[in-house]
Amino acid sequence: MLQTLKHRPPAEAAAILASLTLSLSPQSEHQIEDSIDESLRNSLLSEIYRKLHINQTAQSESQKAELYRFLTKEMSNAALSATDTDEIKRRVGQRGDLRPDLYSIGIPQEARSFAKQRSISLGEITNALEQPDDVEHLPGGVLSSVNTENAISIYLQEQETVSTGEHSFLLVLSRRTGYHQQVMEPIRIYASDVHIDEVISPLNLLKAFIDKYGFVLRVAGRTGKIFLYETIPYYGDFTKLVEYPPGFEKETNHRTCLFVKPSVGKVEVALVYSINEGMYLADLQRHK
């Protein structure tokens, strides 16, 4: 920052530099008083000429070009200083356009418990979030609440067990808020345990996993194993919004992911599925 402007707010400094640049144009010679205070203009030019070692009264074309380059750079620096970069990062992150390693990561206790049961280390989770082989940031544009609370990301990292050569995948589901990723659930999937007809992608792999281990549920009157970003008309009893299959409560080990938002005459479903955790953990145990 130029010393002449060091006590000025960045936005004001950028405006002053823009006016100074315009005043140097031959077409603006008669508008100097209107665009910038003459005393301030002279102080700025004296400082700039000293920095660039340019003669104030005799300048070559190359020196004039250097002067304009310097002013352009100073204007850009001042304009960037006035920008709320944190807010820009938040908006870009919410859209899912931020580079993976620029998101901050939170791993709550529930996700840590799942990871421990499934023999997934916290380091593996962090690595998958920061250096994924693939990631899908689901926008869920049909939901009014998605931008504030229900934006979901699915990270995928392919892995291979060195001792056995087994091919597996690590999926990490997270809720995206600005440039923060809150881990919901880490899932290790062995290629031999699930059937994948489609091209492998984070969402397709999640669906294949739920198809293998998921329970059939009824959500707002609709039946399925996974409900993702749906708005369902519903006027029924909200205490019976999600109905489980007969005998479900007798399952000794199950895991339900449930993000729904009831509203008048409808239900917004971000993500609902329920897996047979006992069956899943038994399959994982076979690969140890």
pLDDT tens column, 168-208: 999 999 999 889 999 999 999 998 999 877 778 999 999 99
The single-letter DSSP state of residue 192 is: T
What is the average pLDDT across 43-70?
A: 86
For the ranges 119-128, 209-218, 262-271, the lowest mean pLDDT is seen at: 262-271
pTM above 0.75, yes or no: no
pLDDT tens digits along 104-133: 999 999 999 999 999 999 999 999 999 999
The confidence score (pLDDT) of residue 156 equals 97
Q: Which residues make beta-bridge pairs with 226?
A: 273
Residue 160 class from Cβ within 10 Å (0-12 exposed, 13-18 middle, 19+ buried)?
exposed
Q: Please answer whether residues 175 and 241 qualify as being in contact, where contact means their C-beta atoms are separated by less than 8 angstroms.
A: no
Q: What stretches of the chain show up as alpha helix (H) in DSSP?
A: 10-23, 32-35, 38-52, 61-81, 85-95, 109-117, 122-130, 202-213, 277-286
pLDDT average, residue stretch 3-25: 84
Q: Is the pLDDT of residue 147 over 60?
A: no
pLDDT at 232 over 80: yes
* Size of the chain in residues: 288
Summarize pLDDT for 242-256 with one digit per residue, the tens: 888 876 765 556 677
Structure confidence at residue 145 (pLDDT): 54
Q: What percent of the chain has pLDDT over 70?
A: 88
For the chain, give the mean pLDDT: 84
pLDDT surpassing 50 at residue 33? no
- Give the C-alpha separation, 261 to 231, whole Å: 10
Residue type, 269: V
Mean pLDDT of 74-84: 74
More confident residue, 232 or 247: 232
Looking at residue 6, its pLDDT comes to: 85
pLDDT at 233 over 90: no
Across 15-24, 76-85, 226-235, 250-259, least confident range: 250-259
Q: Are 183 and 114 in contact (CB under 8 A)?
A: no
- Does residue 72 carry a pLDDT above 70? yes
Q: Is the pLDDT of residue 139 over 80?
A: no
Burial 64-77 (b: 16+ CB within 10 A, else e): eeebeebbeebbeb
Q: Over pLDDT 90: what percentage of the chain?
A: 32
What was the pLDDT predicted at 32?
Answer: 45
Query: Cα separations (Å) of 92 from 89, 147, 177?
Result: 5, 12, 11
Q: What is the pLDDT of residue 84?
A: 65
| 185 neighbors 273 (Cβ within 8 angstroms) | no
Tally of CB atoms within 10 A around 29: 9
Write down the pLDDT at residue 89: 84
Q: Are 147 and 140 in contact (CB under 8 A)?
A: no
Q: How far apart are CA 261 and CA 143, in angstroms?
A: 9
13/27: higher pLDDT: 13
Q: pLDDT at position 122, please?
A: 96
Is there a contact between 91 and 159 (Cβ–Cβ < 8 Å)?
A: no
Worst-scoring range by mean pLDDT, 104-108, 158-162, 210-214, 251-255? 251-255
Token duo for residue 209: 């996993």
From CA 246, how far away is CA 29, in angstroms rounded? 86
**24 near 42, Cβ under 8 Å?**
no
- Structural contact between residues 212 and 195, judged by C-beta atoms closer than 8 angstroms: yes
